[in-house]
């Protein structure tokens, strides 16, 4: 008996250990506590953006408060050595501009003070979480610019609504500053009002935090009339008069802001002086502060608009001065850049920016209307070294419209160069934004003879024939992912040349690489960013670092880490062309993923160095806005930014014969720019694909009505497509919630009705009378004019792979069951109207080991496992068959919304079952019917009393007839697809003789087991807990017996 009991105890303990290990395997977390202090006590709009280094970020909101200010405690991945943070608002106004990092080895609690870039791991002196004092001594220092303090008093308003006053008895005047002192009751935040004769005057409602009360219960604050902030720092009060800002707001106007108001009557035409001298037409005082302020004293003003008689010259450095206020250099207001007068004066129409080479001479042109001087510096090699002096320095000259030019005689082929640019008295070295080649790491441009980089036959060869956008089947892949695995059989691992190799196989002899893509039948190979990007050190390729490449550096030349020699600028150009030519000659088109919406950095980018403030959007304070989520966003609506984007796309399409462009965060570009890109490509080849993400990565100052988002697709050219997140998340669940399920992966206990969104995708987002928009949560309208405007997909490089999503949402499912879900997803995407797209490897159960953001994860996470093709050969063949089916029947590729509306008819069916017929699907008038069953049960759908040839079922897909079924009621197995072609020649015997559903459906396992296993798993843990309790009771009984 005792042996039995001991055995039970052992089992119970083992089961308990299993439970503990399972819990720990999910990963431990550390709690980071962040405290934040603002002198003004105004925390309402501020929050934190946090990320574990190498991971995605998220917003966190303060949920506690102590004497220092608000704080929040956050659990983050313990494996991260550093935690990045930004103090910001929801509109991405930043407290401090740069990203900061918490070193978790130094502590798990920090204190941040507003406006200070440094922070502390130690609590400030005297810090206490709770304040025990009931009152404190408040000292207020207040400066009025006119030093008139007669009848001035102050009202203090506490958080509980009570008030107190500082009156004459508490005041004295020293050195022109009013000093008031009084013991007041304690409060975390106090609002201060200035009263004149008992009435509110000056700035209303300035608030301050009392966190800086010292050990003697004293707090001293400093305030200047007309300012909206108050500070515990003595230097906050400025007695000096100065010109705070002088902005060029139009070609003839300057807006001036003074630190201390002056008498309006004192300002005559000679009140402000400009150097170099320019005649002043008039000077006007504007409203004396924004709407938050009361009027400064009558007859005084601190803001003036100066109108000049002649336009300002953008290339000159002007200084404005005023007696007693000193001088200030003029700076450009960002609003000037969108003015008609600026664009008329400084928009360059030529197509020759950059270096135009010939053996006789090279002409350099660069656009920089704000530059004071520019020179071209030449070097013998492309590797930038500190302190290295150029071989030759050649000055450039202005030629109009903001363009600088240098025409240099002689053969400069393969010479490396940069521009030396002086703007606003600061000189920087700048890589030519139009550079066509570069040295290692893209730090120096290179003069190149492009004709010498053409492989044999490159100019003569052409892309495969391609007519309509909906004929495309897009295959998204990263350059490294194709070849880095040893089982790829590819020699040029991680290189453009890897795409040129044929005859490569995996461990079992199945095709890989180029041959695999050709065998699969896709039409377009979509390359993740392959232009030159910043985040890989090309001089250290042995380290095998990985990045997706959404960090633009040089837009008009290929990435060096994908070439066999990044040091020689011509090599990357030639090898990119070899890749394109090889793909073309094997029947494949090439799509570039382009990222014109932001750059890796903004403050020191080539664009900013040439024309500060022009290429990027900014807020009212001049800070870069962050609609990209990457720290900046380009201003495509400005003429020369738009020109750069169009010029760049045209260059890739003509010089490299690229067949398509996918725009990252296309919603950050304006509609007009995108339509101009389409127009320019049409002049080259109308069949070039153009599509993008119809959303932004954050809030942007670009008005909604101008954004190239999917909701505005009706304003875009009908051959500009947007990704459909509608069908993406309807198929498999939200990409932002790993546990959320969709049409293909819902079980009994988590049924998710996504039918209308699936139907919305099936009709390619065009208007259809049988689609109910109320059931389409992501769209309030049919956003596509034509099917060519919709990209249907289930997975891309972002977020979990399709296979990983299925694993996450169906943890107890067998491999066979997951394959059935995967097949169902593929069938929906590859038979829907519009343009189908899928991530490389989806056809062979690609996993990234659960990593949902692998942008800089190692190759071991990202590379394709080509041996999966052997293990999942059936899945590969299913994708291959679906693609062949799509190519064979035009009915899956209808070109107009009208045709879809006339021919595609949905059929009544149960929830999570979608059925439809395509009338006149083939030339002889026969129909095609499709049924998708997303449930765990066999379902019946009534079509008609016709006979049907089965082209696709749960096992097989293709153009061959699998079998013929008759009768009006069609039985569809769980989690499966049927594609049926009407057979008018078969003999119809009626429903009673129809082939039974169980004769055509045998699943590898019963799909209902998924739900049963999930339920059983819960009962397993209940059983474990019960055994542990019983075992404990038995042990207690044994010990009691022994005593």
Q: Which of 315-319, 410-414, 996-1000 has the highest mean pLDDT?
A: 410-414
- Residue 720 CB: number of other CB atoms within 10 A? 25
Contacts of 761 (CB under 8 A, 6+ apart): 724, 726, 727, 730, 790, 792, 828, 832, 834
What average pLDDT does range 712-718 have in this prediction? Answer: 97
**In this predicted structure, what is the pLDDT of residue 4?**
43
810/824 Cα distance (integer angstroms): 15
pLDDT tens digits along 132-149:
788 999 999 998 876 788
Phi, psi of 823 (to 5 degrees): -60, -40
Are 500 and 564 in contact by the 8 Å Cβ rule? The answer is no
pTM for the predicted model, two decimal places: 0.78
Higher-confidence residue: 1020 or 519? 519
pLDDT tens digits along 232-291:
888 777 666 788 888 888 899 999 988 777 778 777 545 788 888 888 888 888 854 433
Residues annotated catalytic, as ranges: 664, 693
H-helix or E-strand spanning residue 671: helix 671-684
Query: What count of Cα atoms within 13 Å lies in the side-chain half-sphere of residue 683?
Result: 11
**In this predicted structure, what is the pLDDT of residue 1009?**
47
Residue 394 predicted with pLDDT over 80: yes
**In this predicted structure, what is the pLDDT of residue 91?**
63
Residue 921 predicted with pLDDT over 60: yes
Pairing state of beta strands 58-60 and 46-52? antiparallel
What average pLDDT does range 653-668 have in this prediction? Answer: 98
Are 783 and 759 in contact by the 8 Å Cβ rule? The answer is no
H-helix or E-strand spanning residue 731: helix 725-732
Are 577 and 656 in contact by the 8 Å Cβ rule? The answer is yes
Q: Which of 503, 497, 505, 504 is nearest to 530 (CA)?
A: 497
446/438 Cα distance (integer angstroms): 5
Residue 1000 predicted with pLDDT over 50: no
Helices (H), 309-438: 340-346
Report residue 23's pLDDT band, with 50, 70 and 90 as the boundaries: very low
H-helix or E-strand spanning residue 593: strand 589-594
Residue 25 predicted with pLDDT over 70: no
Whether the link from the prior residue into 276 is cis, omega within 30° of 0, is: yes
**In this predicted structure, what is the pLDDT of residue 293?**
37
In 368-484, which ranges are E strands? Answer: 373-379, 392-395, 397-400, 403-409, 416-423, 426-430, 445-446, 474-477
Residue 988 predicted with pLDDT over 70: no
653/556 Cα distance (integer angstroms): 11
Measured CA angle at 467 (ends 460, 580), to 5 deg: 40
946/966 Cα distance (integer angstroms): 6
Residue 355 predicted with pLDDT over 50: yes
Are 875 and 830 in contact by the 8 Å Cβ rule? The answer is no
Distance of CA 302 to the CA centre of its chain: 41
**Residue bearing tokens 């190239």:** 708
In terms of C-beta distances under 8 Å and separation of at least 24 residues, what long-range contacts does 486-494 make, across chains too? 487/512, 487/865, 487/866, 487/867, 488/512, 488/513, 488/863, 488/864, 488/866, 489/513, 489/866, 492/564, 494/544, 494/561, 494/562, 494/859
Q: Which of 842, 846, 840 is nearest to 865 (CA)?
A: 846
Residue 24 predicted with pLDDT over 60: no
Could you report how far apart the first and last alpha carbons of the chain are, in Å? 19
Strand partners of residue 280: 308
- Written as six digits, the tokens of 701 are 């100052």
Are 212 and 38 in contact by the 8 Å Cβ rule? The answer is no
Q: Which of 663, 751, 765, 669 is nearest to 714 (CA)?
A: 765
Q: What is the DSSP letter of 624?
A: B
Strand partners of residue 634: 616
Residue 162 predicted with pLDDT over 70: yes
Which strands form 976-983's sheet, in the order they lie side by side? 904-907, 913-918, 928-933, 976-983, 947-952, 963-966
- Residue 2 CB: number of other CB atoms within 10 A? 8
Are 831 and 880 in contact by the 8 Å Cβ rule? The answer is no
pLDDT tens digits along 529-544:
999 999 999 999 999 8
In 750-823, which ranges are E strands? Answer: 790-792
Ordered domains of the chain (ranges, CATH): 29-113 (2.60.40.1110), 135-236 (2.60.40.1110), 243-332 (2.60.40.1130), 344-448 (2.60.40.10), 899-996 (2.60.40.1180)
pLDDT tens digits along 729-779:
999 999 999 999 999 998 654 445 699 999 999 999 999 999 999 999 999
Pairing state of beta strands 331-332 and 326-329? unpaired
**Average pLDDT score, the chain:** 87
């Amino acid at each position: 008996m005792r042996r039995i009991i001991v055995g039970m105890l052992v089992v119970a303990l083992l089961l308990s250990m299993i439970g503990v290990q399972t819990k720990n395997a999910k990963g431990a977390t550390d709690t980071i506590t962040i405290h934040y202090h603002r002198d003004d006590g105004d925390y309402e709009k501020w929050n934190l953006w946090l990320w574990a280094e190498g991971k995605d970020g998220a917003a966190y909101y303060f949920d506690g408060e102590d004497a220092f200010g608000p704080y929040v405690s956050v659990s983050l991945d313990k494996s991260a050595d550093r935690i990045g943070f930004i103090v910001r608002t929801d509109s991405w106004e930043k407290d401090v501009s740069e990203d900061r990092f918490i070193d978790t080895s130094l502590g798990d609690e920090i204190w941040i003070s507003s406006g200070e870039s440094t922070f502390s791991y130690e609590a400030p002196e005297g810090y206490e979480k709770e304040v025990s004092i009931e009152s404190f001594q408040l000292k207020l220092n207040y400066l009025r610019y006119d030093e008139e303090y007669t009848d001035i008093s102050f009202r203090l308003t506490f958080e509980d609504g009570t008030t107190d006053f500082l009156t004459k008895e508490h005041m004295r005047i020293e050195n022109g500053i009013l000093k008031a002192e009084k013991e007041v009751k304690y409060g975390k935040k106090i609002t201060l009002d200035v009263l004149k004769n008992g009435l509110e005057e000056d700035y209303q409602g300035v608030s301050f935090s009392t966190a800086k009360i010292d050990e003697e219960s004293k707090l001293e604050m400093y305030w200047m009339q007309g300012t909206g902030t108050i500070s515990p720092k003595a230097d906050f009060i400025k007695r000096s008069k100065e010109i705070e800002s002088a902005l060029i707001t139009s070609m003839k106007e300057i807006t001036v802001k003074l630190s201390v108001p002056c008498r309006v009557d004192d300002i005559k035409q000679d009140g402000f002086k400009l150097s170099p001298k320019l005649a002043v037409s008039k000077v006007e005082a504007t409203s004396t502060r924004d709407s938050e302020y009361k009027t400064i004293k009558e007859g005084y003003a601190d803001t003036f608009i100066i109108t000049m008689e002649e336009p300002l010259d953008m290339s000159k450095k002007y200084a404005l001065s005023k007696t007693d206020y000193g001088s200030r250099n003029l700076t450009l207001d960002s609003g000037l850049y969108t003015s008609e007068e600026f664009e008329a004066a400084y928009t360059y129409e030529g197509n020759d920016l950059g270096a135009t080479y010939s053996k006789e001479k090279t002409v350099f042109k660069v656009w920089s209307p704000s530059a004071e001087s520019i020179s071209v510096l030449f070097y013998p090699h492309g590797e930038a070294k500190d302190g290295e002096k150029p071989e030759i320095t050649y000055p450039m000259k202005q030629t109009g419209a903001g363009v600088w030019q240098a025409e240099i005689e002689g053969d400069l082929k393969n010479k490396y160069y940069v521009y030396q640019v002086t703007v606003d008295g600061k000189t920087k070295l700048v890589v030519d934004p139009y550079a066509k080649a570069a040295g290692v790491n893209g730090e120096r441009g290179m003069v190149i003879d492009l004709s010498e980089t053409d492989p044999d036959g490159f100019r003569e060869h052409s892309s495969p024939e391609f007519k309509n956008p909906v004929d495309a089947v897009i295959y998204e892949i990263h350059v490294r992912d194709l070849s880095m695995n040893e089982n790829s059989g590819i020699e040029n691992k991680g290189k453009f040349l890897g795409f040129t190799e044929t005859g490569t196989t995996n461990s079992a002899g199945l095709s890989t690489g180029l041959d695999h893509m050709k065998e699969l039948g896709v039409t377009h190979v979509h390359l993740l960013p392959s232009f030159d990007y910043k985040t890989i050190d090309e001089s250290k390729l042995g380290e095998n670092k990985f990045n997706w490449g959404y960090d633009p550096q040089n837009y008009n030349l290929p990435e060096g880490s994908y070439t066999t020699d990044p040091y020689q600028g011509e090599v990357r150009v030639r090898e990119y062309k070899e890749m394109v030519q090889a793909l073309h000659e094997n029947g494949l088109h090439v799509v570039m993923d382009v990222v014109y919406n932001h750059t890796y950095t903004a403050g020191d980018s080539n664009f900013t160095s040439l024309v500060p403030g022009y290429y990027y959007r900014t807020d009212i304070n001049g800070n870069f806005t962050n609609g990209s989520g990457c720290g900046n966003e380009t201003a495509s609506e400005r003429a020369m930014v738009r020109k750069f984007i169009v010029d760049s796309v045209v260059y890739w399409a003509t010089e490299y014969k690229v067949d398509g462009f996918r725009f990252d965060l296309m919603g950050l570009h304006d509609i007009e720019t995108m339509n101009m890109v389409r127009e320019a490509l049409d002049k080259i080849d109308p069949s070039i694909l153009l599509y993008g993400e119809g959303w932004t990565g954050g809030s942007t100052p670009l008005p909604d009505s101008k954004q190239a988002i999917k909701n505005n697709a009706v304003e875009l050219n009908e051959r500009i497509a947007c990704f459909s997140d509608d069908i993406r998340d309807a198929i498999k669940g939200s990409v932002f919630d790993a546990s959320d399920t969709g049409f293909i992966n819902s079980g009994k206990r988590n049924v998710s009705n996504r039918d209308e969104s699936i139907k919305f995708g099936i009709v390619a987002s065009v208007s259809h009378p049988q689609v109910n928009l109320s059931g389409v949560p992501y769209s309030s309208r049919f956003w596509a004019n034509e099917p060519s405007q919709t990209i249907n997909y289930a997975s891309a490089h972002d977020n979990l792979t399709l296979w990983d999503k299925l694993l996450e949402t169906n943890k107890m499912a067998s491999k066979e069951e997951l394959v059935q879900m995967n097949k169902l997803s593929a069938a929906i995407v590859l038979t829907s109207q519009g343009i189908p797209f899928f991530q490389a490897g989806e056809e062979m159960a690609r996993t990234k080991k659960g990593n949902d953001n692998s942008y800089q994860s190692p190759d071991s996470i990202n590379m394709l496992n080509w041996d999966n093709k052997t293990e999942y050969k059936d899945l590969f063949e299913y994708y291959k068959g679906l693609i062949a089916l799509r190519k064979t029947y035009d009915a899956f590729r209808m070109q107009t919304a009208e045709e879809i509306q006339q021919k595609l008819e949905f059929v009544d069916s149960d929830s999570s079952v979608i059925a439809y017929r395509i009338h006149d699907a083939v030339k002889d008038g026969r129909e095609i019917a499709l049924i998708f069953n997303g449930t765990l049960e066999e379902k019946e759908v009534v079509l008609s009393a016709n006979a049907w040839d089965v082209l696709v079922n749960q096992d097989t897909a293709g153009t061959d007839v699998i079998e013929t079924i008759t009768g009006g009621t069609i039985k569809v197995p769980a989690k499966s697809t049927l594609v049926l072609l009407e057979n008018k020649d078969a003999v119809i015997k009626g429903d009673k003789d129809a082939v039974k559903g169980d004769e055509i459906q045998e699943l590898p396992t019963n799909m209902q087991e998924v739900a049963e296993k999930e339920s059983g798993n819960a009962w397993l843990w209940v059983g474990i807990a019960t055994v542990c309790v019983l075992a404990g009771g038995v042990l207690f009984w044994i010990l009691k017996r022994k005593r």
